[in-house]
Amino acid sequence: MLHKVEPVKLKCLYCTDPDMNVVPSPPSSPQHADKPGSAPLDFWRMACFPSDARKRIQFLEAECDSLRREREEMLHLHYSAQIDADAARRILAAERNIVASERRTFEAERVVFLAKEKALTTQLAEEAGRSRKAEEAVNKAQVDVIWLKERHEEASRTFESLLVDVASRLGVS
């Protein structure tokens, strides 16, 4: 049958110090076993561990401090993990915003490119239209030049024939 071992404030059966911490010790414990007159108390012997108790208390206090530090580290890690999770969520949201911004930028660049292409096509068409008009004007001017040359040659022949006719009337050869 196991009992929970708890420190109790009792006077040790073997010590004269009334303030000594007394802890129950199982019957198999070697503490005070060699002393005569040791009596069992509910299958437990009262054993006094003055130096061992102090060491045990110091060990338990150190263990408690260690556990407190470990708990604080765990809380710190927990809060850090929460902060890291929040940061990760913010990073993911920022990355989604960046992707959306890049998509909008790409669409805007595509619209600008299409507008430039349309403007260039329109400009080329206008230039082609002007070019056709200029070509038609050049062709018309060339036709006019040819017509004027023909008229000039005809006028020159007419002038020469008039000169010959006037010279023949005047008797000049």
Q: Is the pTM of this model over 0.75?
A: no
Task: Say which amino acid occupies 36.
Answer: P
**70-129 per-position pLDDT tens digit:** 888 888 887 877 877 788 788 888 888 888 888 888 888 888 888 888 888 888 888 888
The count of residues in the chain is: 173
Q: Which two tokens stand for residue 70?
A: 């470990």
Domain positions in the chain are 1-48
Q: pLDDT digits over 132-161, tens only?
A: 888 888 889 888 888 988 988 888 888 888
Could you report the per-residue pLDDT of 24-64, keeping only the tens digit for each? 444 444 554 444 444 444 333 344 445 566 777 778 888 88
Give CA–CA dist 71/77, Å, rounded.
10
Joined tokens for residue 27:
């019957």
The vertex-156 CA angle with 151 and 161, nearest 5°, equals: 125
In angstroms, the first-to-last Cα distance of the chain is: 167
